[in-house]
Amino acid sequence: MSRLATTSNETQQRFNPFAMAQAQLDAAAEVLQLEPSIHALLREPLREMQVSLPVRMDDGSMRIFKGFRVQYNDARGPTKGGLRFHPDETIDLVRALAAWMTWKCAVVDLPLGGAKGGIVCNPRELSPGELERLSRAYVRQVGRILGAEVDVPAPDMYTNAQVMAWMLDEFSVLQGHNEFGMITGKPLALGGSKVREEATARGGMYCLREAARVLGLKTEGTAMAIQGFGNAGQHAALLGQELLGVVVVAVSDSRGGIYAPEGLDPRKVIAHKRTAGSVIGFPGAQSISNEDLLRLDVDILVPAALENTINAHNAPEVKARISAELANGPTTPEADEILHAKGVYVIPDFLCNAGGVTVSYFEMVQNAYSYYWDDKTVKARLDAKMTAAFHEVHELATRLGVHNRLAAYCVAVQRVAEAVRLRGWA
C-alpha cells in the first residue's frame, strides 16, 4: 500500500516518526521518574546497520539498493522485528519502528527486545526473480547480526512468507545448516506457525473485545470503519464480524474508500480488491476519501494504514468511541491529547497490534523444540496474552488518570528499564 495522504505536504514534511517515538518515551520517563542515565540509553538504538545491496536486474543491469537494520534494545532478550520493502523507507522510520517493537514486546511480556529492518525499493516494480535476489542480498549483508539468539526478522509491509523463505534459505546456506528459528512468518512447510497470517488483527480484536466490555459497549451490530485494507485491515473486517458481530460500514486503501451505512460484506470487498486492485468501485457503496472515513459517525475506528494518520488537524473531527490502532504510529502525541479530552478510548498501536509479534514468538518457541501447535492452541495462548496485557494497561491508565498510550508506555518502559538496571548497563 502507498502512503496515505492524510495531512498537508508541509505537515508531512515536518513529521519525524522517531522524534514522535522519543517524545512518547519522554512522557513515560517523567511519570516513572526514570533515572537520567536509563532514560538517555532508552532514547537511542543500541546499534544500527546501513548496507548497500547490489542486485542483478532481469535486463542484465546492476542496481544498488539501500537497506537498514536497527536493533533498538536487547536487554530482555534477542531482538525481534519486521522487514519492510518500501520506496519511502528512511532510517528515522526504521528507528521509530524498532523502538515501538521494543515497547510492544515488553507490554505483552515477551522475553524479546525490539528491532526493525527496511529496504528502499518499490516492490511493485520488481519481478519475482528480482525480489528473490534482493531478499538474498539483504541476508548476505545483514545475516552476520541475525540469528535465533540474536535478532529475528519477520514479514512487514510488502514482505510475506515467500520472502521469509528465501531469506531463511540464504541464511541456512551461509551457516551450513538449517536454522528455522532465525526468521518468523515462514510458510508452514518451513516451520511457520498456524494463525500467523491473521495474528495482528486477531490480537487487535481480542483487545477491542475487552475495551468494549470495560466501556459497556455491545459490539453486536456496532458500526466499524477501517482505514487501510491490507492484510491487517482485511483480517480485522473478517474477524470483527466473526468474533464480535460488528458491522463493517467503511474501508479504504491508498486510492480511496467506500462507505455503505447498511454494511459491507468483507469477503466480497476482499474479492473485489483482489480483482480490481482497490476497494474503489465496489458495487452498491459510495466513494469517500481516507479523510472522510476518519470523520464517520461510527463506534469503532480501526486505523490500519500508516503513521501520522490521526493528527492535530483531524483529531477534533473523530467521532468514534474506540480507536483500535492496528497501524504503527497512526496517532501523533498532539492527537492523543485531543482524543483523550474528547473521551475517545484509544487502544494504542504497540498493544493493539502486538498479536503479530506474539505469534511470531510462539513460532520461535515451536522452532526451538520442533513441536508444532494446532490453531486452537495458538489462538487460546494469543487470547490469554493479549487479554492480560490489555487489562494491565487499562488498570494503570485508570489509576493514574492518563490516556492508554502513556499507560502502555509506563508498563513497557518499566520492564525494559528493570532489565537494563539489573544488567548494570546504566
Separation between Cα atoms, residue 228 and residue 33, nearest integer Å: 37
The β-bridge relationship of strands 286-288 and 256-259 is: antiparallel
Separation between Cα atoms, residue 197 and residue 230, nearest integer Å: 12
The SS3 of residue 327 is coil
Q: Which H or E element spans position 50?
A: strand 47-56
Separation between Cα atoms, residue 349 and residue 369, nearest integer Å: 31
Best CA proximity match to 108, nearest among 350, 313, 277, 308: 350
Cell digits for 291? 479523510
Cell digits for 215? 466501556
Contact 209, 389 (CB under 8 A): no
Separation between Cα atoms, residue 294 and residue 55, nearest integer Å: 41
Residue 159 gets the label, from left (phi > 0), alpha (psi -120 to 50) or beta, of: beta
Cβ burial 265-294 (10 Å sphere, 16+ → b, else e): ebeebbebbeeeebbbebeebeebebbbbb
| Half-sphere exposure in the Cβ direction for 398 (13 Å, CA) | 9
Q: Which H or E element spans position 29?
A: helix 17-32
For residue 418, what are the contacts with CB-CB under 8 A and spacing of at least 6? Answer: none
Best CA proximity match to 170, nearest among 120, 129, 132, 196: 132
Catalytic positions: 116
- CA dihedral (231, 190, 53, 49) positive or negative: positive
- CA dihedral (110, 111, 114, 118) positive or negative: negative
Contact 400, 224 (CB under 8 A): no
